[in-house]
Amino acid sequence: MLQAEITASKLSTNTCYNLVFNPFRVWIMAKKKKNSKTLYVNSSTAKTLASYLIHKGLDLKSIEKVLACTLDDLSDVEHRIPMNHYHSLWTLALNYTKEPALALLLGSKPFRDEMGLVGHIFFNNDTLNAALKQYERYYALVHEGMHIQVKTDAKFAYINYICDLDEAYSQADMEYTLAISIYRATLHIRDGIEIEHIYFQHSPPDHHSNYNEVFPCPVRFNHTHCSIVFKKQYLDFKLPKRSSYLHQVLTHHIEALFKKIRPDETLTDKVINLVEKKLAKDNIDAEHIADKLCMSRHTLYRKLKQEGISFHDLVDQVRKDKAFYYLNLNKRSLSDIAFLLGFSELSSFSRAFKRWTGISPAKYIKQNVKN
C-alpha cells in the first residue's frame, strides 16, 4: 500500500487523513465528486410563486431570467429547476414584495395551489401512514437537497425535513413548505387534525409573530431540522379523497420518472442514500436496508461484496465522512453532530471518532478548524 512519506507530527490530523492512501477513502471521495452535481427541485412551487409575482406586477422577463426557463416550462409535470435558481426566485420575491412573511402567507392562503405529482399521489393513498411512506421514498423528486424522515414514539408522529447539505436550506422555502402542508392537511385530510408542534431549523426571524397566525400550535426555532409533530393516532386515518385507480396510475408514472432521474445508480449508491437518510435515526441495520431494497440481508451482503465493499465498512465510512463535513463546517454543536450521525450519545461519537483519527472531535476542531 502506498503511503505519503510525511511525518505525522508536522501535519494536522485532517491533512494526514487526506494524504494517507486509503482505497476506501479514494472510492468514497470519487463518489462524492460524482454526486457533486446540480441539485434540482420540482417546478410546482416555483410556478405558484412566479404566477403570484406576475399578478403583483413583476415583469415576466425578470422571473424567467432568474429561473433560466420559461413560465411554460414550469407547467410540465416532469420539469425540474436547479435548486439555486429556485432559492434565487424566493430572494427576488422577498425583495420585490418587501413582505418578509411572504412564504408563510402564500403557504397558508395559496394564491394558486399548484400541487405536484408527489402531492397528488400522497392524497390518493389509502391511509396517512401509507401516504407518508411514499412521501419518504419520492421526496427526491420534490427536492434533491433534502429528505423526509417519518418517526413515531408512544404518542406522536414526526415528519422531519432533513437537509443533506447546509446550502440546501432556505428559510423561505421551509416556511412555505410547512405552511402549505398544514393547509393541505386541513383541506384534504381532516379539519380537526391536531398539530402538536412545529419546529424550524432557523433562528426566530423579525416576523416571528406571523408564525402564530399561520400555525395552530406552538412553534420552536433553532432545531436540528424542521418538523411537523402530530398525534400518532392520525396515521391510521383513511384519506377521504383517495382513489385507488388514480393512485395506481400515478405511482406507475412516478416510478418511471424516478428511474429516469437515477438511471445509473449502483447498489452501493442506493445503500449510501438510504444510510445517509437513516443516520439521524437510532438504528441502521442491514435487515432494514435490505427490506427497503426488496432483497434479503444475505443478498445485500453478497451484492455489496461483488461491488467491493461490506455493509459495515460502508456505514462506518459514511459516518466518518459526514463527521468531517460537519466538524469542518463548524456550525453545529458536537451533540448535534452526534445525533445527525446516528449516535445515541456524544460519548459514542467521541469513541468512534477517536478510533478513526486517534483524537477526540473537540481536539480535532481545536487543531484544524478556524473559528
CA dihedral 93, 95, 97, 102 (to 10 degrees): 60
Strands 146-152 and 80-82 come out as unpaired
Let me know: does 341 contact 351? Beta carbons within 8 Å.
no
**H helix intervals, 98-243:** 102-108, 117-123, 128-142, 171-184, 209-214
What's the pLDDT score for residue 5? 26
Question: Model pTM?
Answer: 0.67
Amino acid letter, residue 74 = L
Model pLDDT, residue 263: 61
Q: Please classify residue 2 by burial: count the beta carbons closer than 10 Å to its beta carbon, then call 0-12 exposed, 13-18 middle and 19+ buried.
A: exposed
The answer to whether the beta carbons of residues 151 and 162 sit under 8 Å apart is: no
**Whole-number Cα distances in Å, 166 to 59, 181, 201, 224:** 32, 22, 11, 11
CA atoms within 13 A on the CB side of 234: 21
Rounded distance, CA 50 to CA 65, Å?
A: 12
- Which residues does the chain have with pLDDT short of 70? 1-37, 113, 190-192, 262-265, 281-283, 370-371
How is domain 1-36+264-371 classified at the CATH fold level? Arc Repressor Mutant, subunit A (1.10.10)
Nearest to 323 by CA among 339, 299, 307, 303: 339
pLDDT tens digits along 45-87: 999 999 999 999 999 999 999 999 999 999 888 889 999 999 9
What pLDDT score was predicted for residue 53?
96
Domains of the chain, residue spans: 1-36+264-371, 40-236
Domain 40-236 grouped into CATH 1.10.3470: no
